[in-house]
Structure 1
Amino acid sequence: MITMLADKLKQILSERYISQADLSAKTGISRARISMYCSGTSYPRPNAVKQIAEALNVPVGWLTGEVKEIEPSLSVPKVARALGVLPQALREGLKRCIYPFGYAVFKNGKYKYYISPTKFEAYQKHDLKGYEQRDEKRERDIHVQKRSY
C-alpha cells in the first residue's frame, strides 16, 4: 500500500508538472513529509491523504489504489464555451486560482491546465442554483413593489 501511494503520487506530480514543494504549499504538509510519501519511506495519515487528493483534484481512492483511473481533464475551449467566456480569460482565471474546478501550472516555459470534470459540474450546478435563487428573489421583490403602489 505504501508503494502504491508513492507510485501514484510521483506519477501525478510528474504528469501535472507539480513539484513536491508546490504540493507542500498547497496542502500545508511539510516538504520533508511529502518527500517521504513520494519515496515510500512513510505513509500519510488519512487526513493527509485527503488533503493531498484535494490539492491534486484526484479521488482519495485513486491515490490508495482503490480506484484505477482518474478523470481526464476537460479542455479549456470546451469549458470556456460552457461558461460563456473566452478561452484566454479562462486560462487567466486558472492561473490566478479564481476557479475552484481547476488550476494552471507553469513548467518549462509554458502553462499546463487541469480542469476537473466533477468539480466543474458541481460548479455549474451551484452557479445555476444561485441564478435561480436570484431570479426568485427578483420576482418576489417586483411583486412586493407592485403591491405597495
Structure 2
Amino acid sequence: MSELEVKHPDFAQRLVKLMKENDLDKNALSDKTGISYEMIRRYCEGFAKPRSKGLKDISEALGTSSGYLHYGELPEEKPTVSDLKAKIKTMQSSSTPSTPNPNDPQGTQGSG
C-alpha cells in the first residue's frame, strides 16, 4: 500500500483549528455533518478536500464560511444601516464649512 500524499495542508490546518475552537472531534463532526469518520479523518490530515456540499455542511457545523474553510478568506464585514448613518453624520458634521471672517482672509484668526 502506498503512502498518501498530503495535498491540502492549509485546508487541513484551518479545519483542525476550527474543530478545536468548536470543541468537536472527528466523530462529533461526522455526526453533525453526516460525512463518514474516514472522510473527516482524511480532510483533517490534508489527504482530501470536500466537494461543495460537504464543504457547506462542514462550514455550517463549524460556524464559518465555506470561503474561509476552503481558501482561507474571511468574508467581508458588511456595515449595518446604523453604522452607515453614524458615518454619514460624522462626515456631514466634519465637512460643515465655517463662516469665513472677512477681516481674516487666511482664516487663521481664533485658531491659536
TM over 0.5: yes
Q: What runs of 5+ residues in structure 2 fail to find an aligned partner?
A: 1-6, 78-112
Q: CA deviation at 1:58?
A: 0.5
Report Cα offsets for 1:89-132 as digits up to 9, x if no partner: xxxxxxxxxxxxxxxxxxxxxxxxxxxxxxxxxxxxxxxxxxxx
Pairing 1:28–2:34 present: yes
In structure 1, list runs of 5 or more residues that go unmatched.
72-149
Question: How has the CA–CA distance of structure 1 residues 66 and 19 changed in structure 2, closer, same or farther, with 3 Å as cutoff?
Answer: closer
Q: Using the TM superposition, give the Cα deviation of residue 46 of structure 1 relative to its aligned residue in structure 2, in angstroms.
A: 1.3
2:55 paired with 1:53: no
Quote the Cα distance in structure 2 between the aligned partners of 1:18 and 1:28.
14
Q: What is the 5 A alignment of 1:66-85?
A: 66-68=72-74
- Using structure 2 for the length normalisation, give the TM-score: 0.57
> Shift in Å at residue 24 of structure 1?
0.3
Structure ID, larger Rg: 2
Asked if 1:13 is matched to 2:37, the reply is no
3-state DSSP of counterpart to 1:34 = helix
1:10 deviation in Å? 0.5
Is contact 2:32-2:61 (8 Å) kept? yes
The residue that corresponds to 2:70 in the other structure is 64
Distance in 2, Cα, partners of 1:35 & 1:45: 15
3-state secondary structure, aligned to 1:8: helix
CA distance in 2: counterparts of 1:16 and 1:54, whole angstroms: 12
Higher helix share: 1
| Matched positions, count | 70
Q: TM-score, normalised by structure 1?
A: 0.43
Give the structure, 1 or 2, with the largest relative contact order (CA under 8 Å, sep 6 or more).
Answer: 2
d(CA) in 1 for partners of 2:24, 2:60 = 14
